Amino acid sequence: MTAGVDPPPSLAELPPERWPRHIAIIMDGNGRWAERRGLPRMQGHERGVTSVRRVTEEAARLGAIGDLTLYCLSSENWKRPQAELDFLMRLLAQYMVDERPTIMDNNIRVSMLGRRAGLPDDVLAEVDKTIELSAANTGMRLNLAINYGGRAELTDAVARIAAEAADGALSPADVSEQVISDRLYTAGLPDPDLLIRTAGELRISNFLLWQVSYAEIWVTERCWPDFTEETLHHAIHDFARRERRYGGLNV
C-alpha cells in the first residue's frame, strides 16, 4: 500500500486493539530527495534528521505505540564513499547531542541495535550517553539500528548459542525460537507489527529478518525527508484495516 494525497484519517476513531504497538521504519531516499532538487546528497541526510525528529515526537505523543525502530545505518552502508560515511557519523553524533532535550521531554527510552565494532569511539560515546540519560524514562522506546544487518544479527546469535552449547550451559536439544530470540539484538522487544518503507522500494534490505516474519508491510513513494506526521497517520490507519491471521484463518 502507498501513501495517498488525501488528508490523513483521524486516529481517534481507531480502537486500541487495532493500533500497531511496534513500528519499524526503513528510512530510504535521502540521497534521491537531494538529487531531484539539485542538492548534494548530504543535504538529503540533514533533512532526513528533521523527519526523524517529527516522526519520533509524534509516535511518542500518540501514546499507543510502545516501540519505534529506525534503520539508521546498515552494515552494508560501509560500501559508500568515505566522505559520505564521515558525514553520516558526524550527523549521528550531533543528533545524539541535539535530541537529548526532546528525548527527555517526551519520556522516550533510547536503545541501539547493531554491532558496536567499527563505529567511531566518539559516536559510540554520544550514543551511550543518550541511552544512559534516558534509561529511567517510561514512555516509548526508540530503537536505533546502527551498523545493523539482519544476517549479522542472526550470525551473532548462532555464535552465542554455539558457545553456550560448547560450554555445557545449553543443550542443542533445548534450542528453540525463544532461545534464538533471546540472543538477538532485539532481545526483550516485541516483534514489529508494522514495517514502513519509504521511497517506493519493495524489499526488506536485511532489516529485522527474524522479527518481521508476520509484520504488515506499508510502502510509500515518499522519500524519507518528505515523511511527515500525516504520512505516519496514513500508515497506522491502513494497518488498522488489515486482518492479521498469522498463518491461520479468521472464522
pLDDT at position 1: 46
Distances (CA, A) of 62 to 16, 34, 134, 200: 11, 30, 19, 26
- What distance in Å separates the CA atoms of residue 79 and residue 74, rounded to the nearest whole number? 10
Which residue, among 207, 200, 203, 198, has the nearest Cα to 227 in the 3D structure? Answer: 198
196 phi and psi angles, rounded to 5 deg: -105, 135
- Residues 87-144 pLDDT 10s: 999 999 999 999 999 999 999 999 999 999 999 999 999 999 999 999 999 999 999 9
Is 76 within any annotated ligand binding site?
yes
The answer on whether 210 is annotated among ligand-binding residues is: no
For each of the domains in the chain, give its residue range(s) and CATH number, in order of start: 18-149+191-240 (3.40.1180.10)
Taking only the tens place, the pLDDT of each residue in 39-77 is 999 999 999 999 999 999 999 999 999 999 999 999 988
Band (pLDDT 50/70/90 cuts) for residue 149 is very high
pLDDT tens by residue, 170-196: 999 999 999 999 999 999 999 999 999
Cell of 82: 568515505
Q: Is 41 annotated as a binding residue?
A: yes
Distance CA(134)–CA(83), nearest Å, equals: 31
Q: Which residues are catalytic?
A: 28, 77
Any binding-site annotation on 75? yes
Q: Are the beta carbons of 56 and 95 closer than 8 angstroms?
A: no
- Report residue 8's pLDDT band, with 50, 70 and 90 as the boundaries: low
Average pLDDT score over the chain: 93
Q: Is 111 annotated as a binding residue?
A: no
Where residue 4 falls among pLDDT bands split at 50, 70, 90?
very low
224 annotated binding-site participant: no
pLDDT digits (tens, 9 = 90+) for 205-227: 999 999 999 999 999 999 999 99
Distance CA 223, CA 43 (A): 13
